Amino acid sequence: MRNNILYIDEVSSTNDAAKKLAIEGAKDGTVIVAESQTGGRGRRGRIWQSANGDGLYFSMILRHRAEAVKCQSFTLVAAVAVKDALNGCCGVGAAIKWPNDIILNEKKLCGILTETNMTGGMPDFMILGVGVNVNNPGFDGELIHKATSLFLETGAFVNKKELLEQIIGNLDEAYGQFKNAGFAGFLDIYKKDCLNIGQTVSAYNGKKEICGKAVDITELGELVIQTDDNIRLCINSGEVTLSPIIA
């Protein structure tokens, strides 16, 4: 039985709280969960709305010592683990938008933010931050068209503690396998669950926009895009726009 899950009522960001704990020596796999966040953040400097207790907000400390690029692919594995827990617990059919967004009925259900603390060219530790829209009755502004919650999709109120236990169970198992076999062991599963494959996408490679067809995922978790002039490019981080599925 796991005993390193810390619950906190309110925090700026569970990623920040986890980082502080990691610096203080918290062990591999420690999880911090908050009922609300005052400064929840997403990728690319976006805000992650988490001011109330509707969603699930937690971060896990990962102390896997390997090259950064190998460690970072755990974020894709985590997306599979979390997605399976959401589908299993709530009977939904969520899938993954590369690299790690969890999408249900063309809207975002869950986001994952991985942050790395580097020493000597290797991650000293990584923080895997997960935000799931659970019992949110609705969203404001531009999120109305982009975000969804388990409650909105199923009409049923979800017990967040039970959901968290299932997600963490899946993450623990996946992390154990990842430490032994790396991302390669998850490649086929990931590709099967990834919405982008076969779709027309646009992505940023640094500041340059690339358009083409998503054709594959590499053993490092990169997205392979085939451009209209038949060049294959591997994108290793960033944002992909999926069209026509997700505008």
DSSP 78-139: HHHHHHHHHHHHH----EEETTTEEEETTEEEEEEEEEEEEETTEEEEEEEEEEE--S----
- Whether 74 contacts 48, CB under 8 Å: no
Among 26, 48, 73, 90, binds ligand BTN (CB under 6 A): 48
Q: CA–CA separation, 76 vs 95, rounded Å? A: 12
CA-CA distances (angstroms) from residue 21 to 57, 69, 146, 164?
16, 24, 33, 20
- Asked whether position 135 contacts ligand BTN by CB under 6 A, the answer is no
CB of 228 to ligand BTN, least distance (A): 29
Q: Which stretch binds ligand BTN (CB under 6 A): 53-61, 150-158, 189-197, 228-236?
A: 53-61
Options 45-53, 61-69, 169-177, 190-198: segment touching ligand BTN (CB under 6 A): 45-53
Under 8 Å between Cβ of 133 and 150: yes
Check binding of 43 to ligand BTN (CB under 6 A): yes
Among 46, 65, 146, 192, binds ligand BTN (CB under 6 A): 46
Number of residues forming the site for ligand BTN (CB under 6 A): 21
CA 220 – CA 187 distance, rounded (Å): 9
Choose among 133, 126, 142: nearest CA to 73.
126
Stretch in the footprint of ligand BTN (CB under 6 A) among 56-64, 79-87, 166-174, 231-239: 56-64
C-alpha 49 chain-centroid distance: 15
Give yes or no for residue 42 binding ligand BTN (CB under 6 A): yes
CA 228/CA 147 separation, integer angstroms: 31
Q: Is 199 in the site for ligand BTN (CB under 6 A)?
A: no
Q: Binding of ligand BTN at residue 74 (CB under 6 A)?
A: no
**Closest chain position to ligand BTN (CB):** 111
139 binds ligand BTN (CB under 6 A): no
Measured CA to CA, the distance from residue 131 to residue 33 in angstroms comes to: 10
Binding status of residue 113 toward ligand BTN by CB under 6 A? yes
Residues of this chain that interact with ligand BTN (CB under 6 A) are 13-15, 37, 40-43, 46, 48, 50, 57-59, 101, 111-113, 129-131
